[in-house]
Amino acid sequence: MQKPSQSPSPSQSGTRIAHIGIVVEGLDAGVSFYRDILGLPQVPLEDSDGARIVGLAAGASLVELLEANRPDSPIAKFIAKRGPGIHHVCFSVDDLDATLDRCRAAGIRLIDQSPRVGAEGKRIAFLHPSSTSGALVELTEH
């Protein structure tokens, strides 16, 4: 996937939280809280990684509600083991390849050895929680 040709303005550079992935048992109940009670606008997102996803815009960051759409999906396994809750945090970085190189050099355990295309059509890569103080971390780029 091609990156947009425009370079980010200085205010857009630097690592920031792109989205927080929250596993839900039912999208409707999740949407009614985050959209209708908290007032976060709903953003259309494609299904990805065996999950139906609803995006909700919280400023420049998204809340992504993840519901398993097949029994063998990673989300289904997560919910069977731990129940609903925060699943991962996604950081948007200036240079995904350079960040992954730094991770590799530092011995960080990578789930994705190289970037792949994620739910928002951007290149992503996951890092293993054993290397990130227990949080499943997803990386993407602006």
Collapsed DSSP state (helix, strand, coil) of residue 56 = strand
- Closer CB to Co ion, 20 or 31, in the complex: 20
> Which residues contribute to the site for Co ion (CB under 5 A)?
21, 90, 138
Q: How many CA atoms lie within 13 A of 62 on its CB side?
A: 21
Instruction: Kindly tell me which of 138 and 141 has the beta carbon lying closer to Co ion.
Output: 138
As measured in angstroms, the least distance from the Cβ of 96 to Co ion is: 14
As given in the structure block, the two tokens for residue 58 are 């919280």
* Cα–Cα distance for residue pair 39/29, rounded to 1 Å: 14
User: Min. distance of Cβ 120 from Co ion in angstroms?
Assistant: 8
- As measured in angstroms, the least distance from the Cβ of 70 to Co ion is 18
Q: Which is nearer to Co ion, 10 or 134 (CB)?
A: 134
What's the min distance (Å) between Cβ of 116 and Co ion? 12
Written as one string, the DSSP assignment of 79-124 is HHHH-SEEEEEEEEES-HHHHHHHHHHTTPPBSSSS-EE-TTSSEE
Q: Which is nearer to Co ion, 75 or 90 (CB)?
A: 90
